[in-house]
Amino acid sequence: MRRVQLAALASLASFAITPAASAQTPTPGTLQVPAKTLPTPTDVSPQLQKIIGAPLRTNWDLRPKTGEEWKPVADAGAEALMKNVPGMMERLKVKVEKTTIDGVRAFILTPETIAPENRNRQLIHMHGGCYVLNPREASLPEAIFMAGFGHIKVVSVEYRMPPEAYFPAALDDGITVYKALTKTMPAKNMAWFGTSAGGALVLEMGLKAKELGLPMPGAIASGTPMSDVTKVGDTFQTNAMVDNVLVSPDGFCDAGTIVYAAGHDLKDPMLSPVYGDMHGFPPTILTSGTRDLLLSNTVRVHRKLRQAGVEAALQVYEGMAHAHYIRDDTAPETKEVFEEIAGFFDKHLDK
């Protein structure tokens, strides 16, 4: 009886390994993953289910090669997005005013109600868009959400982009605004925040502030940052064609970054801040989602900060792809994201 059982087990084992043996041998160090269909999570809000279940972004593989070619693409996208901005302002009760600060275009966002603890505080916002998208009021949704949900004043920087200017124009404009604002408010009463390219820019600003000997802000919030534009990071592979916003590591966002960089080394920490020295950074909160192409970029920054002894929080949301939390202000997850960030800021900013 014992021999029969062993023979049966041996037969099963042999059967189990036969398909692998007959399949194409994978390249050493790689993992073959079968094609599969991903259902939309059922444990998220209906609003977020709709966003997660949306088809892949239109023209995700569009790759303009110059700033001049990017401009009509950016303008068309901005026109569509700006139509949603008035409704966001109304729902979240936020007033927006155009201004310039030391020659840099910016918007001042003031919520109808400023929390008592935030009366002597303000935030600097760096918008996303792969360094080439979201000009003018199209840059504002995230800033509106932060002002409205966080009940705090926000200065949103409309930094220069191609073809008007190239690297390091966006970083320079952010630092210029910060230096100007520190003339009227202590650095520790301010925080910086941004998503995607904006998430990278606030990290780059931290590196630049160290280099220039500027005081650090009280805190930083970096959302799904483009922290490694050399495309190193596991989820560039595991979430490719899963993230319905960025879609692919070789898509439109990569093309926009290459145009902005204008031949500069993509591993320079002022373009890929994960390679910078983050010792001395202020407390930082990072945000991503399980389907985000840049989840690894976010996780790697979190590790880099912790290795540098910096207090760092990491919030990862179920099912979200790249920057889904700035899509719909009526989604409870969006409110939760910005209230988490506001609470983190309240903990670390001076009053």
How many Cβ atoms are within 10 Å of 128's Cβ, its own excluded? 26
Residue 24 is predicted with a pLDDT of 52
- Secondary structure class of 130 (helix, strand, coil): coil
Residue 223 is predicted with a pLDDT of 98
φ and ψ at residue 329, rounded to 5 degrees? -70, -10
Residue 45 is predicted with a pLDDT of 97
Rounded Cα–Cα distance for residues 111 and 97 (Å)? 12
Rounded Cα–Cα distance for residues 214 and 193 (Å)? 18
> What is the residue-wise DSSP string for 258-327?
HHHHTT--TTSTTTSGGGS--TTPPPEEEEEETT-TTHHHHHHHHHHHHHTT--EEEEEETT--TTGGGS
Interstrand relation of 104-111 and 154-157 (parallel, antiparallel or unpaired): antiparallel
How many Cβ atoms are within 10 Å of 213's Cβ, its own excluded? 6
Say what the alpha-carbon torsion angle 112, 180, 173, 95 is, to the nearest 10 degrees. 10
Tell me the angle at which helices 252-261 and 67-82 cross, rounded to the nearest 10 degrees.
Answer: 130
Rounded Cα–Cα distance for residues 271 and 23 (Å)? 41
Residue 19 is predicted with a pLDDT of 37
Residue 349 is predicted with a pLDDT of 98
Q: Tell whether the torsion through CA atoms of 198, 203, 209 and 211 is positive or negative.
A: negative
How is the beta sheet containing 154-157 ordered, strand by strand?
94-101, 104-111, 154-157, 122-126, 190-195, 219-223, 284-289, 312-317
CB 278 within 8 A of CB 305: yes
CB 280 within 8 A of CB 207: no
Tell me if the pTM is above 0.75.
yes
Peptide bond into 186 cis (omega under 30): no
The tens-digit pLDDT sequence of the chain (351 residues) is: 444 343 333 333 333 333 333 345 566 788 888 898 999 999 999 999 999 999 999 999 999 999 999 999 999 999 999 999 999 999 999 999 999 999 999 999 999 999 999 999 999 999 999 999 999 999 999 999 999 999 999 999 999 999 999 999 999 999 999 999 999 999 999 999 999 999 999 999 999 999 999 999 999 999 999 999 999 999 999 999 999 999 999 999 999 999 999 999 999 999 999 999 999 999 999 999 999 999 999 999 999 999 999 999 999 999 999 999 999 999 999 999 999 999 999 999 999
Residue 7 is predicted with a pLDDT of 39
Residue 8 is predicted with a pLDDT of 38
Peptide bond into 64 cis (omega under 30): no
